[in-house]
Structure formats: structure tokens, C-alpha cells
A and B are shown apart, each in its own frame.
Chain A
Amino acid sequence: MVFIHDKGVLTGSMTSPGSQGGGAVSTRGGAAAKRMKWALELSLGNSRNRGDRQSKEGDVMYPVGYSDKPVQDTSVQEADRNLVEKRCWDVALGPLKQIPMNLFIMYMSGNTISIFPIMMVCMMAWRPIQALMSMSATFKLLESSSQQWLQGLVYLVGNLLGSALAIYKCQSMGLLPTHSSDWLAFIEPPQRMEIMGGGMIM
């Protein structure tokens, strides 16, 4: 919080509004004494600047054990590459790992058409599609890996399997227009070739 003293000097900030109010009241009570106290605590800084910034920017004081020079890293190089590899495989296998979970959800949600199963199916279908659309971003992620192409393929296959599963779910829920009955409404009545009339002799 920033506030202006009655004498027009910007002093500083406080975190707690209670203390701020108190501070404000006290400054009004004895402005000179307060300023002196502030000045004393943040000794070397400009009274117009913020106290905490001063402590950061003023690189005079370092904490205990701080070293300016970077320490040379020699031993963890190999393990790091393994880690990257592992991480990349995690990314690549992610979609495949979701499949059992999806299967379970599918089984649980049943084939009735109501709001929750529909939401599930939408989510299941949308996620692989989204992943496939952002394929390039994933490839960038996998760039550092040596088995980049294999991982990419696995990722792709996993997502395709996921969307196939979603389609299968749609199919089993009857949402796909695969039956002749789904196209019944579009059949035009056949044209009549003969004109016929008549009746009982009047």
C-alpha cells in the first residue's frame, strides 16, 4: 500500500492494513520521530526508496555461505540424460496410460444417453484430438531425446487409440450415423409414375 504523508513525502509500504492505520495515526501524531526511526533502521538507503528493494538491490550484503563463482558440475551428466529420456518417455506413454482409465470410465458410464455419459464421451474424444493438434509442441518437448521419433510415434499411436476408443464409445452409445435408420429422414418420397383414379360406379 502506498500513501502520502501530510507533508507530501512518499515513505514506504506496510503489509497489514491494521498496522498501516496505526502507522498513519502515529505518523500524524509525531511525524518527525517516526521518520527518524525509519531512517535508522534502513540505514544506508535513500529514504525515498522502498526498504525491501534496497535490501535486494544493494548487493553489499550477502547471506552466509554465498559464493559468487559457479561450482563446476562433473558427476551428474549421464544421470541427467537418463532423466530427460525418462521424462520424454513419460510424455510419450501418457496417452497410452490413460486408456485403461478411460476404459474403466466408459464401462462405468454405461450406454444410456444422458448428460454425464455425453460429457465423458466429449472429454474422451476432445483430449486426444487436442493432443494431436498440438503435436508440434510435443515434438519440441521431445527434441532433447535421442529416441525422439519412436517416442513421437508412440505418442501418436496412444492418442489415436484414445480417439478410437472415444469413437467406439460413441458407436456403442448409438451416436454415430452408421445405420440406415439414421438416414431415413433424408429419403424423398418416390415419384409417382402412373396417375390413377376411379371408384364405384356412381
Chain B
Amino acid sequence: MACLAVRLAISLSLLFTASAVFEDQVGKFDWRQQFIGKVRFALFDTHSQASKKLLVATDKNVFASLNSRTGDLLWRHLDKTGPDGHVDSLLMYGQDAVVVVGNGRLLRSWETAVGGLKWETVLDTGSFQAAALVGVQDFVKYVAVLKKTAISLHDLSSGGQIWVENLPDSDTVQYQSIYSEGNGLVFVLGLVPNSHVVIVEYKIEDGEIMNKKSIRAAWMSSLESSCAVISSGILLCVDQITQSLYTLPLQSVEQNEMKQIHLQTLDLEVASGFQPVLTSTQPNPAQPPLAEFFLQLSPDHHILLQLEDGLIALLRDFNPSNLVTFATTGEKTVAAVMSPKNETACSINLFSADTGRRHLDTTIIYHLDPNGGKPNMLYVHAFLKKDDSVAYRVMVQTEDHMLTFLQQPGRVVWMREEALADVVTMEMVDLPLTGTQAELEGEFGKKADGLFSMVIKRLSSQIILLQTWLGHLWKLFYDARKPRSSVKNDEITIENLSRDEFNLQKMMVMVTASGKLFGIDSKSGTILWRHYLENIQPNSAFKLMVQRTTAHFPHPPQCTLLIKDKDTGLASLHVFNPIFGKKSHSSVPALPRPILQTILLPIIDQDYAKVLLIIDDQYKVTAFPSTKNILQQLQDTASSIFFYLVDSSQGKLSGFRLRKDLSTELIWEAVIPTEVQKIVAVKGKRANEHVHSQGRVMGDRSVLYKYLNPNLLAVVTESTDTHQERSFVGIFLIDGVTGRIVHEAVQRKAKGPVHFVHSENWVVYVYWNSKFRRNEFSVLELFEGAELYNSTVFSSLDRPRPPQVLQQSYIFPAGITTLEATLTEKGITSRHLLVGLPSGSILSLPKLFLDPRRPEMVSEQTREENLIPYAPEMPIRTEWFINYNQTVSRVRGIHTAPSGLESTCLVVAYGLDIYQTRVFPSKQFDVLKDDYDYVLISSVLFGLFFATMISKRLAEVKLLNRAWR
């Protein structure tokens, strides 16, 4: 009976929290964009002329196929993250794409049409060196994989291993590349650096070593970077120091020396300090490569050369030229060369590979994006036109990981911003008000100055509103007269951006690891602006702060991005307008010393910009902006400004106080010994979080007041001992001003990674329970008790009583990749936790379920409080998945932002994909539902109105009649 009651209570409570989208709401306020990451290999499907496929493998361990006409994903396969899923090599022959994955761990063959796996073979251990397709008598039948110590040959159609052979002297010789030309032999090229080159010949049928020789080459330090095989098995190498080319026929028995050709004889010279690069092409793996090759002499100087009868002839000198590549269609091989045209554009031209002559009418103009990076890769898809001439399309990859697909004569077919596959941090900024809205807002914002002037102001703003409305009507009328085609669609552009009624549309400012910043419209997902910051180190740390919102109308909003180079510790500030992406002209302070942390203070200057304090490694503080007004304010409030720093490597937490001269003094220090445990993460509360209710109502109608300490920090530690029995996870709640440890909890037999959320008066964290092998949620809630100590001010320095701490743990039947809490404008709406699952779903879990006051025994009072009886297992209901089937691959972070509606919270999940939606934790209590029946309601209203009128008239007539009787 009790069990039944419990179930009933649970199902009742679920009724109130259940929230999911309806079928017709799909895509109404949510969108998803899928990305692949920085392209490492890209191959066009040249199997048939009409093919639209482009195969790519990226640094995010993604293997995908793109539609080359639209840029959309045809299919996408995600491998494990990290080195285990790293794509080492991508080869394509016909309909098959062969991929080597995970440093030579797996060999896979994919069917390119639908993306199905044809076969997979586990390779022997050993680090991967090279892979090549091997052809026999004009047919490609095998794929050879070279590892550090062995070479193996696999059948292309089944993946079966034909043979595997150990490489001779593999402890001294570094084998680096494979070469075959369809004559029944496979050559393996190895090198002993600065000594000699080793060439081993294998027979394809059984892997027998046919020949092995070593050739002296004392100048050579790397085979891969300086050598290429051209023209029927001739190894060609280039050396920068001697300024010469070396040739060696691989198959010749008698020649034991490399033939040296001085570049001077060709009137060429390698730029000093530049490692020259050779580019050759082998259109068909069963045929020898072409005799033509490119030699790059300096970053923007390429030369097309030809080797004929042991002599090198210069075909064409491309100076200047950024990028060159070969492309083959049918029997013709062409060379595509990109050369700078002017400051803002590059031109791409086709040249015949065997003669070096330019193909007419093949110029594509590529316009450089002033807010983008320089091009660094060129992928050419050449095809034959009906008149047998060669035409082409080209995909340009730039430093900021953007892919641009161009068609003759320079039309951009599509673009993909692959930098967005690696979003580091983001903010959501309110859109600006339109002029008229700002006018009205301004009226309320100003101080009242007399009744009369207020009336005048009101009237004038109303007249302006009327004017704009009339203007709008006139425009509508004017547009209606025009033919339909000439009327522009209502596209969202930067010019017509304005805040909507409920502030549901915002600007998403996204910072990516490549250093490219994006401004994305949250309603449609359109990229409205982009800005590429050059010279960003790959392991930089970013911190994005909104210094001024759009609320201060004549002043533009302002965001500041702090970029810290982790190697040098030096940082720079990028100050920009988040709506237009333009760099601000404000004077940025010079930061000559390494930076430790920054604080955004709620103090504002006369231009309404919040003050940013930057702390350097000597604990000196720099203020930005640092006007006189600000320095004065800082001096006045210095004694109440505190900050804390956490040094994970030394396990040290330290608290500082600001002095009037902007130096700091250490006021507390706590050390968590690094031998035992390591600080993993620290989180305070979000600055824009509002808590509406100061307490919780008990069943007996008394109040349990929340311990809402704005200075509370949650510090999570993990044990250094990872043994299953001894590992633990610790959580410390520390007051950041005084350094007092408010509470500490230890989860024994638990392991990280720990995900946690710190908000209001609670901390929720997730860890792996290594004893029971499951994920567990634990929630800590802090209460002051039945009385508030001081209801008007909160000071950490005056808190004599420690809070009451309640804790409960639950089993969560799934893995977790990220955790975040919803956030609303006033904090009235109940909170939900957004849980990113490894499957790509995002679960919206009511905080109601994570309540340490959930009782084990149901009583009258707990029922009064609407507490769900405790159940160790946390339910997962499918309607709680906010992204239904729109999975977000590899969720790394979830960003929540309040909207103008109290019921609505905006959510952006980012990882490999980006997904934006809205959630309504307490349902949409402040707006009418989407399916609200306006027709029925209004018809009923009108019906009733007319019925009243008619019956009134009838009653009058009847009264008159009666009066006459």
C-alpha cells in the first residue's frame, strides 16, 4: 500500500515536470549545426563524372563525406577522441575509401556512396609510418601498411592479410615511405639519419625480399620532408645546405651513389632558412608517377620541373605563388597554382602538367576575407568538359579552418566554418534596441524633471512612434507595388538586428580554439560576423567577459577577450563590439608581465563599462578601463574587494585583498597537499544569477532559510592514488573572502572526472563510483536554519554560525560529459539540470529530484512540501531529452542564458556540433501556448457579444409589450 502511495506520488510529481517538444514544434525554436573539424585529408570522388562526393578526414577524428554542390554532410563517422581514433591516412580507389586509424591500430574500408563499413582489420602493434595502394598490372588490388618494424599487405576487397614481413635492421633504420608502380614490387624506403638511405624491395606475391641496398646520403635527416619518387621509380631528394637535387633510380643494381644536380645549374636558389619541398603526383597507383614535379623554394615561390633522361628541365617558374597542387582527370594531369593578385584577392590558374602551359579561361578569383586567415591548402577537383578541355572546382582551406568551395569564374558555392567544431567559450549578448525602442527606454531611464516636461517628452516619443509606424506602412505600400522578385527577403543581417519583444533572440559570441571569433544569431544560427585573431598559440587560454551590455544605449556594448599564451604566460586583450564584431578603439593596457587571473567588478565607470582587474604574477593589479573616475572608485571600495587564486600544481588556495594603491595583500592561504589529492576545479556562483526565494517553506509552514553566500567557492579534488579501493573525490566549500572551510565532504571509492554545478545554496556533483561501477549524483544543500542571521546585508566577515548542510546521493544510469543548470531572469522558475550524455542527448533533469530533503518515509508534512520520496535510482525519461533526435556529438559545454520571459531559458550546447534551443523548466506559464485556439476563443467571444446584444433588444421589446397590456 505504501509502495503504491510512493508510486502515485512520483507519478504525480512527474506530471508537473514533464516537458517535451511536440512534433510540430520541431525546429521552431531550435537548430543544430554539424561540423567536422580541421580537414587533414580531402579527396574528391573522381570515380564518375557526376559524383558529388568529397571525402574528408579531420583532426577531430571524423571521417565524413560532403556534398560538393552544397557543402552539406552526406554522412559522418566519429571515431574515439584522442590518439586512439586519429586518422593516419586516407586512400581512395574507386568506390572504396581505405582509412588507417589510431596510429596503425585499425585498417578500415568504407563504401563511399552510403558510408557503410565494408571491412575492418586489426593490424599488428607498432607505430604507423605510411600506407599506399599497390597495383598489379593496371589494377589496384592491395593496400600496403608500413609500420616501424614491419610491413603488411592486405587485400583491398576483403581486408585479409596477404603477408606480413619484419623489416631488416628496424632498430637502426627509420623506414618512412612505401612506393610501388604496378610492376609486382613494393619498395620500402628507410633512412639512417645523416648516414645512408636503405631501400628494400619486396615481392608482392609472397613478401620475399628481392633486393636490399643502402646508399650513402650523409646530408639527409628526413626522408619524408625532402624526398619524392617520380618518373618510373626515381627517388628525388632536395638538400638545402648543398643547394642541390639528388636522384637515384630505385631499381638499378649498379648505381650506388646518388646523382647530384646543383640548383645553380638551373639558375635556382633556395631561400635561406627554408626547407625546400618537393611535390609529385602519381595519378594511378598501378602506374609510375609523372616525371613532372613542383619544387618550393620559398614560402611563395614554386617551380614546375621535369626530369627527363636524368636531366632536369624547368617548365615554368611561379613567382609569386602561395599554393600549388596537382589534379588528374582521365588521362590529363593539371597543376593548379594559386598566386596573389592584390591585397584582397588571389587568382587560381590551371597549367598543363607536362608542358607548363596555361589553360585558357581557367582563372578563379578567390577573395580573401579580411576577417579570415590566409589560405593554406588547395584541393582541386578537375573534370573534363564535353569539348575535352579541363575544367575544375577548387576547395580552399584557410588558417582559420574555413573551407571555401569555388567554381569558375570565382563563384563561391559554399563555405564551412570548421573552426566552430572547437568552441572554447561563449557568451550570449542582448541585441540592441531599435532607435524608437531606445527613445522610449530613454524616457523611463532619465530622472523625472517636472510634470510638464515629462508630458512633452511622452508626446514627442509617441509622435516619433507614429512617424515610424507611418513610415513602415508607406514602405509596405511601396514594396507591394514592386514586382515580387525585386523585393528582398526578410533576411537577418547586421543592419536589421534588433531585440524582439521577449528578448528571446540574442547574439551568441563564440570563441574558438583557432582564434576565430563568431557572432551568431541565436534564432536562426546565421553567422553574422566573424573575426580571425592571427598569431594565436594552439594551447592558449581564453576568457570572455561582457564589460558593457546593450542596456546603455548611446554607448555600444563591449566585450573583452583575454588571450593567454600558456607557454610564456603573457596575455593580450581583444576588445570588441559583440554585435558587429568590430574591434573597439579603446586604449588597451599593456600587459608586460605574465597574467594569473582577471576579475570583472560590478563597479562601472561614467561610460557604464564594468571594470576589469587583471592580476599579474607579482599580484599587482591592472584596471581596465583605468580612468580617473575608476581609480577613485577603486580607492574608495578597495577594502571590500577580495580575490582568490587557486594553484593546482602546488595545491594552494590563497585569498587576497586589494589595497588602495592597487597592490594586494595576502589574507588567507589554504594548502591541500598535492601528495594526497589534486585540485581539479573551482567554481563560484554565476554573477548574473538571481535567487527569488530566500528560503524554503516547510510542511508546518515555517521557513528554512537558504545559506546564500555569494562568496562561496566549491573546490573539487581527486586523489592522486587511483587504486580502486583507495581513490576518493573530495569537495570543499570555502568562503572566498575569509578562507573559512564551510563544509567538506569526501566520497570514498570514487573517481573522476567530476562534473559539478554550484548555484543558489546547492552544489550538485557527479563522480564514478568505482566500487559499484556506476555514476552517482550527489547534492549538497546549505541552510541557515529557521532564522536569518542578518536579513539586510551579507558579509562573510560576520557569520558566527555555520550553515546546516544536507546531502543525498543518487545513482545515475548513464555516463555524463557535461553538467549545467538552467538560469532565468528573476529566478522564480524552478531549476533544471542540463546533463550532456555521451550519446549526444541533453537531458533536462528537474532539480526536484536532486533534493537532499527527499524523505525515506512519507509523512503528512513531506507530502505538504511536495517532496518526492527518496529513491536511489534517478529516472531518465525520454521526454526529458530536450534535443529529441538532434544529437550533439561530443558535447563539451552547455551555456545557459536567461531570456526576457521568466519561464524561458536559452540553451546552447557545443562540442563538435552546436545546438541551440529554449527550455521551459516550469512550462510556459507566462505566454499562451502555441496551439492556443484563437479562432475558437474569439468566435465564442463575438458570439456571446452578439447574443447579448440580440437578447437585450428582445428583452426591451418584450418589456414594452408587457407595459402595453
Interfacial residues, chain A to chain B (CB-CB below 8 A): 1, 174, 179-182, 184-185, 187-202
> In the complex, A200 Cα to B640 Cα: how many Å?
21
Report how far A187 CA is from B602 CA in the complex, Å: 23
- On chain A, the residues within 8 Å of B600 by CB distance are 197
B487 on interface, CB distance cutoff 8 Å: no
Nearest 4 Cβ contacts at the A-B interface: A197-B599, A193-B795, A198-B643, A198-B644
Of the stretches B194-202, B334-342, B688-696, the one at the interface is B688-696
**Is B648 within 8 A of A200, CB to CB?**
yes
Cα–Cα, bound, A189→B709 (Å): 11
In the complex the two chains form, is B647's CB within 8 Å of A201's CB? yes
Known: A184-B697, A185-B693, A196-B710. A190 touches B637 (CB 8 A): no
B291 contacts partner chain A, Cβ-Cβ < 8 Å: no
Contacts of A188 in B (CB 8 A): 791-792
Task: Specify which chain A residues have a CB less than 8 angstroms from the CB of B697 in the assembled complex.
Answer: 181, 184
Q: Per-position contact with A for B577-605: 1 when CB-CB < 8 Å, else 0?
A: 00000000000000000011101111100
Report how far A181 CA is from B796 CA in the complex, Å: 25
State how many angstroms separate the Cβ of A88 from the closest Cβ of chain B. Answer: 45
Of B157-165, B356-364, B700-708, B833-841, the one contacting chain A is: B700-708
Q: Contact between A196 and B737 (Cβ–Cβ < 8 Å)?
A: yes
CB distance from B544 to the nearest CB of A (A): 13
Residues of B within 8 A of A181 (CB): 695, 697-698, 701-703
Q: Is the CB of A195 within 8 A of B641?
A: yes
26 intermolecular pairs with C-beta atoms under 8 Å apart: A1-B965, A179-B702, A180-B702, A181-B695, A181-B703, A187-B788, A188-B791, A189-B694, A190-B791, A190-B794, A193-B797, A194-B641, A194-B737, A194-B796, A195-B642, A196-B642, A198-B597, A198-B615, A198-B643, A198-B645, A201-B645, A201-B647, A202-B541, A202-B564, A202-B571, A202-B595
| Chain A residues whose C-beta falls within 8 Å of the C-beta of B708 in the assembled complex | 189-190
Given contacts A184-B695, A202-B595, contact A194 B642 (CB under 8 A): yes
Which residues does chain A contribute within 8 Å of B571, judged by CB atoms? 202
Contacts of B701 in A (CB 8 A): 174, 179, 181-182
Say which residue of B595, B737, B793, B965 sits within 8 Å of A190 (CB atoms).
Answer: B793
Cβ of A195 and Cβ of B794 under 8 Å apart? no
Contacts of A201 in B (CB 8 A): 596-597, 645-648
Does B961 make an interface contact (CB < 8 A)? no
- Known pairs A190-B790, A200-B679; list 10 more (Cβ under 8 Å): A180-B703, A180-B786, A192-B794, A193-B795, A194-B796, A194-B797, A195-B640, A196-B736, A198-B736, A202-B541
- Could you say which residues of chain A place their CB within 8 Å of the CB of B646? 198-201
Cβ–Cβ contact B597 & A202, under 8 A: yes
Task: Give complex CA distance A191, B645 in Å.
Answer: 24
CB of B682 closer than 8 Å to a CB of A? yes
Known: A181-B703, A194-B737. A199 touches B797 (CB 8 A): no
Residues of chain A contacted by B691 (CB below 8 angstroms): 189
For B649, give the chain A residue with the smallest CB separation: A201
Chain A min CB distance to B243 (Å): 46
Q: Is the CB of B791 within 8 A of A196?
A: no
Q: Mark B649-684, 1 if CB is under 8 A from A, else 0.
A: 000000000000000000000000000000101101
Q: Mark B777-800, 1 if CB is under 8 A from A, else 0.
A: 000000000101011111111000
Q: Which of B613, B694, B790 has the most CB of A within 10 A?
A: B694
Is B711 interfacial (CB 8 A cutoff)?
Answer: yes
| Residue B853 is within 8 A (CB to CB) of chain A in the complex | no
Instruction: Find the A residue at minimum CB distance from B737.
Output: A194
Q: Chain A contacts of B736 at CB under 8 A?
A: 196, 198
Query: Inside 8 A of A195's CB, which chain B residues have their CB?
Result: 601-603, 637, 640-642
Q: Nearest-CB distance from A197 to chain B (Å)? A: 3
Task: Bin chain B's interface residue count.
Answer: 35 or more
Annotate B536-555 by CB proximity to A: 1 below 8 A, 0 otherwise: 00000101000000000000
The B478-508 residues at the A interface (CB cut-off 8 A) are none
CB distance from B636 to the nearest CB of A (A): 12
| A182 to B564 alpha-carbon distance, docked (Å) | 51
Partner of B640, one of A182, A185, A190, A194: A194
The residue in chain A whose Cβ has the minimal distance to the Cβ of B646 is: A200
Chain A residues lying within 8 Å of B711, measured Cβ to Cβ, are 194, 196
CA distance A176 to B737 in the complex (A): 42
Taking CB as reference atom, which chain B residue is nearest A179? Answer: B701
How far does the alpha carbon of A183 sit from the alpha carbon of B693 in the complex, in Å? 11
- Contact with B644, one of A185, A193, A196, A202 (Cβ below 8 angstroms): A196
Q: For the complex, what is the distance from the CA of A179 to the CA of B644, rounded to whole Å?
A: 40
Tell me how far the C-beta of B599 lies from the nearest C-beta in chain A, rounded to whole angstroms.
3
CB neighbours of B681 from chain A (8 A) = 200
When distances are taken between beta carbons in the complex, the residues of chain B under 8 Å from A180 are 702-703, 786
Shortest C-beta distance, A18 to chain B (Å), equals 15
Task: Determine whether the beta carbon of B597 is less than 8 Å from that of A194.
Answer: no
Q: Hey, which chain A residues are within 8 Å of B599, CB to CB?
A: 197-198
List chain A residues, Cβ under 8 A from B640. 193-195
- Residues on B with C-beta less than 8 A from A197 are 599-601, 613, 643-644, 684
Expressed in whole angstroms, the Cα–Cα distance for A181 and B705 within the complex equals 10
Q: Which residues of B are found within 8 Å of A198, using beta-carbon distances? A: 597, 599, 615, 643-646, 684, 736
Q: Is the CB of A199 within 8 A of B682?
A: yes
Interface residues in B782-825 by Cβ distance below 8 A to A read 786, 788, 790-797
Q: Are B791 and A184 interface neighbours, CB within 8 A?
A: no
* Residue numbers in A under 8 Å from B788 (CB-CB): 187
B125 CB, min distance to chain A CBs, angstroms: 38
- Give the contacting residue for B791; candidates A187, A192, A200; CB below 8 A: A187
